[in-house]
Copies of this chain bind each other. A is one copy, B any other.
Amino acid sequence: METLSGPLTLKDIAREAGVSVATIDRVLHGRSGVREETARRVHEAIERHNFRPSAAAADLARARFSRFAIVMPIGPNVFMQLILDNVADMSGWLASRRVSVETIKTDVFDPQALTATLESLADRFDGVATVALDHQNVRAAIDDLVAKGMFVVTLVSDVPGSRRHHYVGIDNVAAGRTAGTLIGRLNGPRSGRIAVVAGSQSLRDHAERIFGFQQVLRLEYPHLELLAPVEGGDRDETNAQLMTGLLEAHADIVGVYNVGAGTEGVAQAIRARPRSDRRIFVAHDLTDFTRRCLLRGEIDAVVSQSPGHEARSAIRVLLALARDERILAEQEKIRIEIVMRDNLP
């Protein structure tokens, strides 16, 4: 095995190739104005020593300052707040790398509002990470930003048709399938009905989760009958009412899947109407509340994505794009985590 790098510098390579540092630099960054023959010699010298320019020196010389925005839904969504908390934790790191991150809250459920917000970002930022609704106007707004040279990353919920550079989040269909398998298997042979509570199906992530969930249950657990999903807008009170209604209407509900936030409301309703053979309850996202429920056995499993990972990943990807560094795909891939009582982080 060979040494991964030596203390070589651009200057050394220049001497070796018989050209000046400026020429090496041009070759290194694929800029024009270098004769083919010269470029070949330079490349050879670089390969020979496996030379990589020092990231520190490059960063310093470029003296870039990056301004990023992170667009988040208004309102008290615990998961979104966790992402922001994690961004805040990076503040020292960000500052020392000359990166500023500004949070912008808007109504991501309203295409007009979101579109307007996105449009207002042009020229003020070098990149955005946005939690976005999948809507034609939003897609257009994203494409506009990209056309203007801005780097755009979708966060948590994707906008697949758009020209965004990257999506930081999970495959929500797979997440729904995971929830389905968990409820199906943890329930065992018992038959009965399954309730599904969502925030809003107009949010792509919720719709996708429900799709995956129903797919698995219909195909593999036919003894479980799916109730039509109800939508509570991720609000605790609404969810509590809806869930209570379902439990009153159907005595044989043996499993509950809460697709979005507002888990506390759903949990309240379930707690108020216990069943001797416990119902299986699967929810999303690990928060203080869901953690306590897991420990108490009120929730059987949480399907989760790490807000810390998403926060860091969004920033890292934007930074890599802005300073054209390589993105480590493996590192930036967000996992669908299954959290039970015993593997709580």
A192 at the interface (CB under 8 A from B): no
- A12 to chain B: which residues have CB within 8 Å? none
CB atoms of B342 and A181 under 8 A apart = yes
Query: Closest CB-CB distance, A192 to chain B, in whole Å?
Result: 15
> How extensive is the interface on chain A, given as a class?
35 or more
Known: A178-B340, A326-B92. A56 touches B60 (CB 8 A): yes
- A39 to chain B: which residues have CB within 8 Å? none
CB atoms of B328 and A174 under 8 A apart = no
CB atoms of B343 and A175 under 8 A apart = yes
Complex Cα distance, B326 from A188, in Å, reads 47
CB atoms of B342 and A4 under 8 A apart = no
Complex Cα distance, B333 from A58, in Å, reads 30
A330 at the interface (CB under 8 A from B): yes
- A341 to chain B: which residues have CB within 8 Å? 181
A77 at the interface (CB under 8 A from B): no
User: Which residues of A come within 8 Å of B, CB atoms?
Assistant: 1, 3-5, 7, 50, 52-60, 65, 86, 89-103, 174-175, 177-178, 180-182, 185-186, 188-189, 212, 216, 300, 303, 306, 308, 312, 326, 328, 330-331, 333, 335-343, 345
CB atoms of A101 and B330 under 8 A apart = no
Query: Closest CB-CB distance, A304 to chain B, in whole Å?
Result: 10
CB atoms of A98 and B174 under 8 A apart = no
- A182 to chain B: which residues have CB within 8 Å? 340
- A337 to chain B: which residues have CB within 8 Å? 335, 337-338, 343
CB atoms of A181 and B340 under 8 A apart = yes
Complex Cα distance, B60 from A336, in Å, reads 39
CB atoms of A331 and B345 under 8 A apart = no
- A94 to chain B: which residues have CB within 8 Å? 4-5
Query: Closest CB-CB distance, A334 to chain B, in whole Å?
Result: 9
CB atoms of A56 and B59 under 8 A apart = yes
CB atoms of A7 and B98 under 8 A apart = yes
- A175 to chain B: which residues have CB within 8 Å? 343
CB atoms of B326 and A4 under 8 A apart = no
Residue of B nearest to A181 (CB): B342
